[in-house]
Structure 1
């Protein structure tokens, strides 16, 4: 029963719900009209449509009044939340042209794009379409018109139109090519479209610059360092992105709104200035048209807009001072102070930079300010972005003229030999003048050819350049700052780098020390008041290992230098050559005691001690010099024969394909001496030859100058050098005296070139000559120290590179031209190592540069005037020196005893002199030999030339050497070898004279180790058979038997 009742209730509920739904869906009955009360007012009843229209008009009028007289905040908002723009067709904006027409006036202006009277109103949809869409619609309309054009004439093909066979043949015949005029060969619509759209087109730039030149801004008028046309160019470029702004406390660009003007300006900016590009170069104008006076001055000029957060959005500029804050942009320097940075190039073109000013936001601890093109800011940027501004950070000084990196690279090379900078400044000024003439000629020539009457002349030189080129003093200031600056990718300044490169020079066989005086001429006298000369140390390869300026020639003044040099791990010489030997050898023996070193006197100074006493104007002066040299050495027999064979074959001394003996006589010995080795005589042989030399030339009198060849000091000098003969003979094995270079594949003679290690002394002389030409001009002390050190480091590098080329396989050496065997490709090996590390970090396996010389750590050695300053400080502090060895006793030198050198096995045996006690005794023996002498004939072939020793060659530049001192003049110990006499190492080409004064000693030279009359014995009697021959070494002589 309960179940039946519940089901009945549910049925009743369903019926009620269905009734409600049906009543809702059933149509309603219209209300009944009261015909009694309805009257005439029903005629004026407003319907719903009319009421809504009337309400809309009232609201529109009210809204218009609010927009015109209300605040911007009350304006209607768009979907993006911005205020709606005012429009003339909506009544929210007044058209300027309509206002002038209505109220009267003479102002000429166009209708607003939103005005219905504008000619392009309907085409641009009331200004809502941009130029791109309008032009695209025009192109589409023209294209549709061409495609929808009905067929005409021969184009019609239908069965209803009768066609003749002639018409068919004409239709299928080949059509003639129609030549278009020159102006119609290219599609001009696309070009004109690009010109109209790009704000950087030539036409757009010309219009903008001419407008700015007609209405000069305050900055253009007040700026005296920037030409007006350059100021107009800067303003024209800045106008292209003037809407792009950043926050006041950060460098974030406000360009997120894609419908905003700043967004599209940034897009146009990035198309012209992609990331890593800051400069805009003005393109050349059409030269077939009339020249534009303002734009013709800008062609080829580059304007750099240095604003890093604009070119590289999101970049973080760390403060170079505190390294904690961030640099926040301020304003452009041209806008605030009317200053633009000129960038002067060696080509004569001057570029200009408009830079953003920055300030560190770490105001609590730092108030650093800089510009976007300052060196400290440029140095911290990666290379790919830093190179967008073409100035080396070391030369990017604030508020100064900048030099392009191309010019500074050239200046770095030339400043070493042109340290005064005046020649470089003059060169830069002349190239800018030449560029001005080129521009001027092009401007007037274009005007003449196009028939244009020029009303305004091209600017004069002063107005065109804006600022003069830097003077020699300015270049010296820039170079001095750049040399000591570490704003470089490697982080090591050039001054420290070249100093450490000199510290890396080592010695294995021979070292040499020498004094020079010409280097002091590179300094200003007030900078080195206490200096007297420079002391240099060289090695067997010719490299200069150390150069210091000392107060005097005393050993105590360069003892500290010698001790520092001995500490180098790659220094372990066997022989040391000194210019004052045999004096002063104890200090070198003590310093290099771990090497077992032996001191020797150089051939140059040994001969010079005699030649300085001769009369230079004597007719036999040169003969005496050649004869004196031959008292020291003889030539290798095999090498000499090989050279003579090649000369006979025409491979050496060849003129027009033929061997010309006369021409060979005129050639210098340098062409041949590189193929021949020389060996020194023993001490006793040298002594006997000197005695014979003195006897031969002692009575020579010149009737022209009425003077003898010898002067008063000559006898004493010869006697003294006979005692010193033991100090000039070779003590090293022959294998250590030379190393050979294999001939190249293109060599005709196929003879190896020998490079001697004995001639360290003459090589040091050449290095001294190079130092004399570094930084000449009396520059400041710091700059002279750098240029001199850089010159020596480059000189050493070229020597090492030449030796490397000589060690290459001839097949590899053939690829390198001979002219570049002394010209290395890279001079900064520290940068090569840096690039190798970068390549490895980038994923390269191995090194991209081979043979990279490792730069050692700074060992504390200082060179040139820096050593002089330290030396004077040590003396003033009371540093003592050892009285016997003359060694320095400072804290750095007291414990130095060459700990890196290894003692060699065995010792070098030194020769001992014979029992000649004086020159007089040698002359008595020579006279006794003369009585018993017989005629001796040389059966060896006479060579056409006389070959000088390879190791005795001196620098070919002798013009800086002064004449020899007058006879009898007293000199200091070192001035006796002052290096200012003209060199006497040049040899004559006559070989017969070589035999004239050598024959009478041939028996003693080659039969006995010591001449018999040196032993107190008598000369044996002649033999019965004088035709007997004996092989006596390099030549075959007829001798006597005892």
Structure 2
């Protein structure tokens, strides 16, 4: 029972247990009352789950306290820093203006870091309780003049004692105020104390570029004295010293939000004027000049930076009238954030093919969408005007967020050129590696060749640190850039290449064929071949990967192909189809293309099937080839007569400069130079099938007689005479399948230029069967063996699109008259006139739109807007879709 008014669960004092305890001989209390020791306390028990200690907390409570060892500075390892007046290493007295980062920042109008004063600094709270009597006496003693002026001059060297200068000398703030008031000359001022240590220099706002360069040279040399080189992950020592000096000269205090106006204080205006003195107005890139002075030597560390660039992307100082917008929601409500340098003291490296380039970007946060971005990221750069964006030497497509290095525009363009040939990313990395070292050797040679030099030149690892990424990283960068829309035209490169192929018209003649070598560039299980379609201009209309060689695999591609615009003949279908399998599958093609479309095997395949059995290195090879070609086609008599007259009249001379005789002409026709140099002036005419069959019969009889007259006739064949005759018999069966479609002019005439040596018309054949085989020899070299399908697709499509642009450019030159061609291409060497000037029509159209917006004539009037993507897919994308369609067809 509890007493009245007492809580039933209240704890009671065990007075009876304490009373039962007695003192032991050692003074400890021992309990002899077993009842009291084992007594139950029913009145004190109750609901106690709410006061139980969890196991985790018990573990921390019962564990012994961690004996953490306090970090010890090696400079004060033996005693407290407050007890030392002279440092053990530097052997110099502590100076708050130089050794305390807080006092140094306040004295020099720099950004004050968020950290306490040095423990030895009087500015620390516990050290600033007032000046002691000893300090007052010491200050008064050194301020008082000496009794002997001669002795004072001898001790101080005619200058001011360092201690007296510390207490009463002109401070940095006083000198800056005097400079702003015009009491000091407008140039960089420096004050040197007697202990050999130089104080901070002030850069005048109106300094010339040469004065700025000399000022930075002195400051870099001062900063690098007695300091260790940074680690390999940072910028070179000289570049880091230069960047730190520039940032300290232009440091300023801005409000947190961009919506607030910039301060109009003397301190901020001075920093802005220094920024313009270093970088120039409307610019944030500083290029280190190459200073030459025959009388005074240049500092070797500063000389190693000649031509290098430091990018300080403070757009608010460089372009005060430009409004920075969020790259995500286009909002102006932004907040400044700490960037990589303010947090980690790191700079971003930019890989170039020559100089070192380092950058400090600035970071912002959007208050509307909470998106954080830096000023060197691709999405932000893509939204900038071109006159601002182009100052940062990186293509926005290659400026990925989070990368510690960026490829410059020159480097990325070299990478794109190397990638199109065997995907040579490794070759690109080696090329950048060698160029960096060669640039270093050029700088050493320049320095040592000067009349007067300073110290030793820095080593390679202290100068070159912007190496290219690995070859695998370069491939990933390239592939990501090809799918990126962060460019002025807002169109990905892969999308543009697809549109170029989709815009290719079919024309009157088509050639189709399968190629197998190109498929080796793919790591694609189930792919059998690449089906290609080519028109009479030798432009690629389509190329897709198919799982089998069955024609049903290309049905979907043909449906899309025949729907293209621009075909106003034969009901939108070609009139002639060339394939190496004709007349096989003749019924299928007549069903798909109609009976008005004529099929043909073509001269090329008809000729190659027989010539591959002959040894091209044999001395009688061209004699047999000429006799065979005379059996299947004839040269146009007017063209042959004009060419013969050019030989006989002396317009075309032999290698000795003499006129050709009839015997010389016969020998020339039996050589490889005939086809290489002169068949382009001759049109070929194919007789009917019966005549070709009779001619081949006569050719076989002539060949047997000819083989009997020459020794070792078996060396003429790569296989045997029997297989050669079997192939000849097969060709005779297809003599009716090599004729051209009726009603189509098979040649385009190109008039000779004014400066042409041979004033004859060149004839370009429209027969596409040889051109498609030529393209197959090119397309397999665009990518490399065993690549991922995405990379192989990108490289193959790019190569095919550029090939189409080159062919289109060639026909545009032929369609223009001679005056227009000479006027447009007079500055281009003749051996380069077969190449187009530009390979990005979408960007050219964007430039035209900019000119129209300024009420100016478009600089590229022949460029039209690209048609939208019609949904046609190529290569591995078609293969995946076709595989899915085949799976759906299965029962």
User: TM-score scaled to structure 1, two decimals?
Assistant: 0.63
The match for 1:837 is: 849
User: Against the structure 1 CA distance between its residues 460 and 584, is the aligned structure 2 distance closer, same or farther, given a 3 Å change threshold?
Assistant: farther
CA contact (8 A) 2:186 2:204 kept: no
After superposition, give the CA deviation of every residue in 1:548-587 in whole Å (9 maximum; x if it has no partner): 2222322122232222221111244210111110012333
Label 1:742 to 1:127 Cα distance change in 2 as closer, same or farther (>3 A).
Answer: closer
Distance verdict in 2 for CA 1:127–1:630, change over 3 Å: closer
The Cα offsets for residues 972-1010 of structure 1, whole Å up to 9 and x where unpaired, read as xxxxxxxxxxxxxxxxxxxxxxxxxxxxxxxxxxxxxxx
* Contact map agreement 1:687 1:725 (CA 8 A) in 2: yes
Tell me the CA shift for residue 808 of structure 1: 2.2
Report SS of the residue matched to 2:541. strand
Q: What are the residue-to-residue correspondences of 1:576-595 with 2, within 5 Å?
A: 576-593=577-594
Residue of structure 1 in register with 2:805 after alignment: 797
Identify the residue that residue 689 of structure 1 maps to in structure 2: 695
**Counterpart Cα distance in 2 of 1:278 and 1:361:** 26
In the aligned structure 2, how far is the partner of 1:750 from the partner of 1:623?
Answer: 29
RMSD: 3.5
Gaps of 5+ in 1: 1-92, 138-191, 881-1042
Offset of 1:868 from its aligned partner?
Answer: 1.6
Residue 295 in structure 1 maps to residue 302 in structure 2: yes
1:630, distance to aligned residue in structure 2 (A): 2.3
SS at match of 1:537: strand
User: Does structure 1 retain, via aligned residues, the 8 Å contact 2:300–2:457?
Assistant: yes
SS state of the match for residue 294, structure 1? helix
Question: What pairs with 1:33-44 in structure 2 (closer than 5 Å)?
Answer: none
- Tell me if 1:385 matches 2:388: yes
The 3 A distance-change label for structure 1 pair 284 and 251 is farther
Q: Report the 3-state secondary structure (helix = DSSP H, G, I; strand = E; otherwise coil) of the residue aligned with 1:465.
A: coil
Q: Are 2:163 and 1:107 equivalent residues in the alignment?
A: yes
Q: Provide the rounded CA distance (Å) in 1 between the counterparts of 2:810 and 2:608.
A: 30
CA separation of 1:97/1:603 partners in 2, compared to 1, >3 Å: closer, same or farther? Answer: farther
Aligned CA distance change for structure 1 residues 372 and 215 (closer, same or farther; 3 Å): farther
Q: Distance in 1 between matches of 2:830 and 2:217?
A: 53
Report the counterpart of residue 272 of structure 2 in structure 1. Answer: 266
Distance, in Å, in 1 between the alignment partners of 2:338 and 2:802 is 45
**Shift in CA distance, 199/261, structure 1 to aligned 2, threshold 3 Å:** farther
Instruction: Give me the whole-angstrom Cα distance separating, in 2, the residues matched to 1:96 and 1:807.
Output: 99
Matches within 5 A, 1:317-336: 317-323=324-330, 326-336=333-343
* Distance in 2 separating the partners of 1:428 and 1:697: 58
How big is the shift at 1:617? 8.2
How far off is 1:302 after superposition? 0.8
Match of 1:284 in 2: 290
CA distance in 2, matches of 1:103, 1:828: 79
Higher normalized contact order (CA 8 Å, seq sep 6+, divided by chain length): 1
Q: Tell me if the contact between 1:252 and 1:309 (Cα under 8 Å) persists in the aligned partners.
A: no
Q: 1:555 to 1:405 in 2, by over 3 A?
A: same
Paired position in structure 2 for 1:450: 452
Residue 1038 of structure 1 is matched in structure 2 by none
Matched, 1:748 2:767: no
- Tell me the residue number matched to 2:596: 596
Task: Indicate how the Cα distance of structure 1 residues 626 and 240 shifts in structure 2: closer, same or farther if over 3 A, else same.
Answer: same
Distance in 1 between the 2:238 and 2:400 partners?
25
Q: Secondary structure at the match of 1:630?
A: helix
Segments of structure 2 that go 5 or more residues without pairing to the other structure are: 1-130, 146-160, 188-202, 568-572
CA distances 1:312-365 after superposition (whole Å, capped 9, x unpaired): 23544333345557543212322312321222222x112111111222323xxx
Residue 886 of structure 2 is matched in structure 1 by: 875
Are residues 1:206 and 2:220 paired? no
**Structure 2 counterpart of 1:863:** 874
Cα separation, 1, equivalents of 2:761 and 2:321: 64
Which whole-Å deviations, capped at 9, do the CAs of 1:62-90 have from their partners, x for residues lacking one? xxxxxxxxxxxxxxxxxxxxxxxxxxxxx
What per-residue deviation string (whole Å, max 9, x for no partner) do you get for residues 473-499 of structure 1?
222121111111000011001110011
| Secondary structure at the counterpart of residue 767 of structure 1 | helix
Match of 1:240 among 212, 233, 249: 249
Relative distance call for 1:334 and 1:865 in structure 2 (3 A) is: same
Q: Does 1:826 align with 2:835?
A: no
Deviations 1:47-66 (A, max 9, x none): xxxxxxxxxxxxxxxxxxxx
1:565 maps to which residue?
Answer: 561
Task: Give the whole-Å Cα distance in 2 for the aligned partners of 1:303 and 1:361.
Answer: 30
- Aligned equivalents of 1:634 and 1:127: distance in 2? 96
Change beyond 3 A, Cα 1:529–1:327: farther
Indicate conservation of the 8 Å contact 1:95/1:112, yes or no.
no
**Aligned to 1:109, what secondary structure does the other structure show?**
helix
Aligned to 1:484: 483
Distance 1:386 1:864 in 2: 35
The alpha-carbon deviation at position 305 of structure 1 amounts to 0.5
Judging changes above 3 Å, is the alpha-carbon distance between structure 1 residues 462 and 867 closer, same or farther for their aligned structure 2 residues?
Answer: farther
Q: Residues of 1 paired with 2:141 and 2:529: CA distance? A: 90
How far 1:742 moved relative to its partner?
1.3
Match of 1:722 in 2: 732
Which of 337, 348, 353 aligns to 2:359? It is 353
| Superposed displacement of residue 714, structure 1 | 4.7
Match of 1:659 in 2: 659
Shift of 1:387: 0.7
**TM-superposed deviation, 1:252:** 4.3
- In the aligned structure 2, how far is the partner of 1:327 from the partner of 1:841? 30
Report SS of the residue matched to 1:858: coil
Superimposed CA distance per residue, residues 367-401 of structure 1 (whole angstroms, 9 cap, x where no aligned partner): 43332111111011111111111111011123232
In the alignment, is the contact (CA less than 8 A) between 2:351 and 2:467 conserved in 1? no
* Structure 1 residue matching 2:362: 3-state secondary structure: strand
Distance 1:439 1:670, change over 3 A: same
State the shift of 1:470 in Å: 2.3
Q: Go from structure 1 to structure 2 and tell me whether the alpha carbon gap of 1:852 and 1:308 turns closer, same or farther (over 3 Å shift).
A: same
1:781-806 CA distances to partner (integer Å, 9 max, x unpaired)? 22221121111111111111112112
| Contact 2:209–2:277 (Cα < 8 Å) also in 1 | no
User: What's the counterpart of residue 574 of structure 1?
Assistant: 575
Map 1:136-155 onto structure 2 (within 5 A). none
Deviation, structure 1 residue 98? 7.0
More divergent stretch after superposition (605-614 vs 530-539): 605-614
Which residue does the alignment assign to 1:230?
239
Partner of 1:63: none
In structure 1, what is the equivalent of residue 538 of structure 2? 542
1:638 paired residue number: 638
Q: How many residues align?
A: 707
Q: Deviations over 1:591-646 (max 9, x none)?
A: 333x9321111222223344455677887655443333222210111110000111
Q: Residues 351 and 223 (structure 1 numbering): CA distance in 2 closer, same or farther, change over 3 Å?
A: same
Does 1:409 pair with 2:410? Answer: no
Give, in angstroms, the shift of residue 274 of structure 1.
Answer: 4.6
Aligned to 2:818: 810
CA 1:518–1:200 in structure 2 vs 1: closer, same or farther (change >3 Å)?
farther
Task: Tell me, in whole angstroms, the C-alpha distance in 2 between the residues paired with 1:198 and 1:620.
Answer: 75
How far off is 1:751 after superposition? 1.1
Q: Out of 772-781 and 415-424, give the one that drifted further.
A: 772-781
Q: C-alpha distance in 2, partners of 1:778/1:784?
A: 9
Q: CA deviation at 1:429?
A: 0.9
Cross-structure match for 1:371: 374
TM-score of the pair, normalised by structure 2: 0.73
Does the 8 Å CA contact 1:213/1:229 hold for their aligned counterparts? yes
- Are the aligned partners of 1:245 and 1:253 in contact in 2 as well (CA < 8 Å)? no
Q: Aligned partners of 1:612 and 1:441: how far apart in 2?
A: 58
Asked whether the 8 Å contact 2:696–2:732 carries over to 1, the reply is yes
Write the distance in 2 (CA, Å) between the matches of 1:585 and 1:132: 96
**Greater C-alpha Rg:** 1
